[in-house]
Amino acid sequence: MAKELKELTKRSVNYSEWYNQLVVKADLAEQSDVRGCMVIKPYGYAIWEKIQRVLDDKFKETGVVNAYFPLLIPKSFLSREAEHVEGFAKECAVVTHYRLKTNESHDGVVVDPAAKLEEELIIRPTSETIIWNTYRNWIKSYRDLPVLCNQWCNVMRWEMRTRLFLRTSEFLWQEGHTAHATREEAEERARLMLRVYADVVENYLAVPVVQGVKSETERFAGALDTYTIEAMMQDGKALQSGTSHFLGQNFGRAFDVQFLNRENRPEYAWATSWGVSTRLMGALIMTHSDDNGLVLPPALAPTQVVVIPIWKTDEQLAAINAKAQGVVDGLRARGLSVKYDNDGNKRPGFKFADYELKGVPVRLVMGARDLENGTVEVMRRDTLEKVTVGLDGIEAYVEGLLKDIQRNIFEKARAFRDAHVYECDDYEDFKRRVKDGGFFLCHWDGSAETEARIKEETQATIRCVPFGYEQTPGIDMVSGRPAKCRVIIARAY
């Protein structure tokens, strides 16, 4: 492992390769033998579980309940909503048969041609269609509204180029699907869920985000508005980290979900959908980690503190074990997740490198001299700073340090992000600089043509019209036409 660690490519040499290696070396995930599908390993899954738990609790605080809808969607459902089918039919896994049979040479199995489905089924790429088909029977009156369902599940989009967590054919996510009696309520719900996402991503993943609204081109297929949170990675590229869609009555109409309103008149239900996925793992990894490995926010680290004894004799070990147990117990009593590693088969240097690679936020080392002095050496993973502190009050010290790390990595990421947000009014200047990364705040005339030209000439895309940014009208740097506001343009994952 220590050897493997040395082989981790530096970010400055090849950021992309650094990421790919880190995900595998830190035991987060790996490619499977099924093209484009990943295996999420226990260490990676433990982080995902913590993200899930936080999100799930926050959803429920807003009245959302969980449910489960079928994995398979009849092919014809996709075609019901015109834009939706354009967006999702192109990259679907299609189930055509429901049985295998033994082959002629009796050494394998083949598809049984007799077991062909009348209508093909699609593995859900997203579930608006099957869910709104279900809602038709649930929603008859305004009294049945709102319906606020979420599901945690797997989805599949056949991707040609995949990267662990960032873009995989199968991924895990949650998808919320709500139905409302009024347009206003649905729009407010879409924005509310965006705020929930921003809260969790900033305060737990410690990843600063820009909240905003997508251009028409970048909207979800079938949405009237797509809200987004955009994070900046260390290479200055944008990572779309969560989206929330106001779907208007598009799905209500497509699946005939009508209700009697307070005036006893039939009306189509108003919809939202919103989702975050295992892609968040990519954001988490890429925002904080360094050339030594992962840096995990304490709020989501499976192990928050590792305690490592250093000894020469069995007597020393026994004495340190006894002392350390008190520290471990004290930390656990405060609800911290602590590992005590006195494995004699691994050298301390190996352990140090391994826990750095895994991103454990705080490391305590206790040697013979510490035992004498009643001290312990404390290292914080984010800055790699070491200090020796007294054992008296160590629990409060570590607890405070974890809070400080959580705050520090967020502030560090925000300072980096803020230093790479540029107002830019000159397209030539933009073209020169955009390939080095960063968020460019540029006036945009609102046309799809300009957007397409920027994308074609620079591979950069309009990420969003940012909220909370004081807008002034101006001139589009590309077309020279009047522009109502600035948008964020960046290269993106």
SS3 152: strand
Cα–Cα distance between 458 and 322 in angstroms, integer?
Answer: 62
Contact set for its own copies, span 335-354 (CB under 8 A): 345
Q: CB within 8 A of 265, min separation 6: which ones?
A: none
Among residues 12, 42, 114, 472, the one that binds its own copies under rule CB under 8 A = 42
CA atoms within 13 A on the CB side of 21: 21
Among residues 94, 318, 396, 415, the one that binds its own copies under rule CB under 8 A = 94
Contact set for its own copies, span 58-77 (CB under 8 A): 65-76
Rg of the Cα atoms in the chain: 26
* Residue with smaller CB distance to its own copies, 6 or 106: 106
45 lies in the binding site for its own copies (CB under 8 A): yes
Among residues 26, 149, 299, 362, the one that binds its own copies under rule CB under 8 A = 149
User: What is each CA distance from 287 to 21, 161, 297, 317, 474, in whole angstroms?
Assistant: 15, 22, 11, 38, 33
134 lies in the binding site for its own copies (CB under 8 A): yes
153 lies in the binding site for its own copies (CB under 8 A): yes
The bridge status of strand 29-31 relative to strand 94-97 is unpaired
Among residues 51, 156, 224, 281, the one that binds its own copies under rule CB under 8 A = 156
Among residues 38, 164, 232, 328, the one that binds its own copies under rule CB under 8 A = 38
SS3 155: strand
Cα–Cα distance between 395 and 437 in angstroms, integer?
Answer: 41
49 lies in the binding site for its own copies (CB under 8 A): yes
- Choose one: 147-155, 189-197, 350-358, 424-432; the region binding its own copies (CB under 8 A): 147-155
323 lies in the binding site for its own copies (CB under 8 A): no
269 lies in the binding site for its own copies (CB under 8 A): no
Tokens of 42: 């226990």
Other Cβ atoms less than 10 A from the Cβ of 359: the count is 28
Cα–Cα distance between 404 and 278 in angstroms, integer?
Answer: 26
97 lies in the binding site for its own copies (CB under 8 A): yes
Total residues at the site for its own copies (CB under 8 A)? 63
What burial class does residue 449 get, using C-beta atoms within 10 Å of its C-beta: 0-12 exposed, 13-18 middle, 19+ buried? exposed
Question: What is the closest distance, in whole angstroms, from the C-beta atom of residue 106 to its own copies in the complex?
Answer: 10
Binding site for its own copies (CB under 8 A): 30, 32-34, 37-42, 45-46, 49, 65-76, 78-79, 85, 89-102, 107-109, 111, 120-123, 130, 133-134, 137, 143, 149, 153-154, 156, 158, 170, 172, 345
